[in-house]
Amino acid sequence: MSRFLHDEAVTAIQQIDTCLENYAAGRKAALCVGQFVDADGRDSEHAGVYGTSAWLLLTGNLKSHAQVGRLRDECATLLRAAARGASQNAKFNSDLERMVLKIAYAFAALSGLSDSQAEASLLLERLFKSQNKGWGFAVDAAPVPMSTAITVRLILESPAARDAVSKAVAFLRSALSGVSNPYNRLFVLTTIARAEPNTVKRSEPAVAVRELYVRVAEQPTRFPNPTIIDYQDNSRTRYIRIPSDIILIEALCLLSGPWQMYLYAHTGWRIFGYLTNHTKSLQNFDVDPTGNRAAIGTYMYLQQTLQWA
């Protein structure tokens, strides 16, 4: 049974790759990547740390594609300079000094590049210095669960970050009961399971999923899709959004084991089918599965979750 799900996921991932190739072909030279990757975003001159980092994370298997490779080189060059505070883009420099999630995204992007290890180490050291059990959204802010969970996911593969991850997971454990939004709680719980799988009982995600179903059934308009994560950037409210469907599918993958049994249950099957069918129909990024403008982070999380299937 899992072979069918696997094949559907692979087809969807291949179509994301096609959209990435088409975006790169239409992106003007000397521009990196912004948050939005629809036609307006592709034609805009805006670029940011989040989009530039996500581009490198999404396109690792497309290095040989000429336009993708060209854009990867430009993104990596800009991030390396900004990590040293030497970029001509002052906003990039500032973000990589004080915004935790952007530092973490840039670290994840550069740590996978052989010629960027020195800069990746600089960014990881900044994360270590700003850790207070977990992380806030800014380097001097109090820790919050969602910022900590996202940061853990981005540094998890680094052996040098093992102690920091363990400390952060302990914080997430202590904070979990106070996370009121059921999608946020599920995201935090699956983060713990990814970081330290042996510490999560099988019943925990099952109970969290069941509670989510109950609360959504009781108040179906209360919880937005996508899940919005707000933070302050120089007194301006910024946000990261993750489709709630993806958070749920990730949890069902965690529950399912190798046969992906929970994905064959009614809710899992319907949501998985909707996400893959939406993605398989794409040639260019337009709107995401929630009907919002296509943001590169949405497809980064979708790609990672489909790779589990």
Chunked mean pLDDT (size 10), the chain, 309 residues: 79 95 93 95 95 97 95 97 96 96 97 97 98 94 95 97 98 96 94 94 88 88 85 78 90 70 71 89 90 93 85
In-domain check, residue 31? yes
The model's pTM is 0.93
The total number of structural domains that make up the chain? 1
In-domain check, residue 73? yes
Contact 240, 297 (CB under 8 A): yes
In-domain check, residue 151? yes
C-alpha neighbours within 13 Å on the C-beta side of residue 227: 20
Confidence (pLDDT) at 261:
59
Confidence (pLDDT) at 15:
95
In-domain check, residue 159? yes
In-domain check, residue 226? yes
Nearest to 156 by CA among 185, 178, 122, 127: 127
In-domain check, residue 61? yes
Confidence (pLDDT) at 258:
54
Domain encompassing residue 199: 2-303
Instruction: Report in angstroms the alpha-carbon separations of 24 from 41, 72, 106, 289, 295.
Output: 12, 9, 20, 21, 15
In-domain check, residue 308? no
Confidence (pLDDT) at 257:
63
Confidence (pLDDT) at 1:
46
Listed in order, strand segments (DSSP E) in the chain are: 227-233, 236-242
257 backbone φψ class: left, alpha, beta (φ>0; ψ -120 to 50): left
Residue 128 tokens, joined: 């270590």
What CATH number should be reported for the domain holding residue 198? 1.50.10
Residue 283 tokens, joined: 């040639």
Nearest to 216 by CA among 242, 183, 240: 183
In-domain check, residue 263? yes
Confidence (pLDDT) at 85:
97
- Alpha-carbon distance 192 to 176, whole Å? 10
